[in-house]
Amino acid sequence: MDERIRVLVIDDHPLFRDGVVRTLETDPDMEIVGQGASAQEAIHLSQALLPDILLLDISIPGGGIQAAQAVACDCPVTRIIMLTASEDEDDLLAALKAGARAYILKGVSARELLSALRSVMTGECYVTPALAASLLSEMSGASSNARQPADPLDMLTERERQILEQVAEGHSNKEIGLLLYLSEKTVKHYMTNVLQKLHVRNRVEAALLAQKK
């Protein structure tokens, strides 16, 4: 049974796109199912091919954010990863809101790119570390402006804190379960509670709050 990760690559720079395709093709776990250069192609090919991962540039003709929104709506089984040169925090936030599971800067190593793809396939989120630090700073400022009466992390139980600390260190639910002698399902249950208590949307934002401490 073929369980390779099926990837659709959309970028309007042919040389860069070809380089990404060649990089992914060297990995036996990856299969390139299509390529394109615009938002329209991203949407059309995603609908036609239902890839596991859509690797998308934010600045393609028609707009990468718009493409991500459409694909997230029409093809929920497809996980969206932004691979872009934009370090703008607004672009990062817009991409995450549009449904992207990861935001990676061009220039990333082949090893890191492949690792990010695998992480996303297991349900994780990924943001290039330098941008994650910037987002953390912005979130910290927003929290201060809101003048919240208490640190939301104080609302967590000891077990929830243990799990969040492991998430902040980059561990998957399965790895956390092995470390804390819990089932993967139990870890997911705890993380759902953590997200609700911290009023964040995903593991990335929760991890950023934990790293702040």
Least trusted range by pLDDT, from 17-26, 64-73, 116-125, 188-197:
188-197
Q: What is the pLDDT of residue 213?
A: 63
**What rounded mean pLDDT belongs to the chain?**
86
Amino acid 42: pLDDT: 97
CATH code of the domain made up of 142-212: 1.10.10.10
Average pLDDT of the residues in 109-120: 91
* Tens of pLDDT, residues 127-139: 877 777 666 555 5
Whether this model's pTM surpasses 0.85: no
**CATH 3.40.50.2300 residue spans of the chain:** 5-132
Looking at 11-154, list the stretches that DSSP marks H as alpha helix, in order from N- to C-terminal side: 14-25, 39-49, 64-74, 89-98, 110-121, 129-146
Q: Half-sphere exposure of residue 63, counting CA atoms within 13 Å on the CB side?
A: 9
Which residue spans of the chain are classified as CATH 1.10.10.10? 142-212
Fold of 5-132: Rossmann fold (3.40.50)
Query: Do the Cβ atoms of 85 and 113 come closer than 8 Å?
Result: no
- The HSE-up count of residue 1 (CA atoms within 13 Å, CB side) is 1
What's the rounded mean pLDDT across residues 105-114? 90
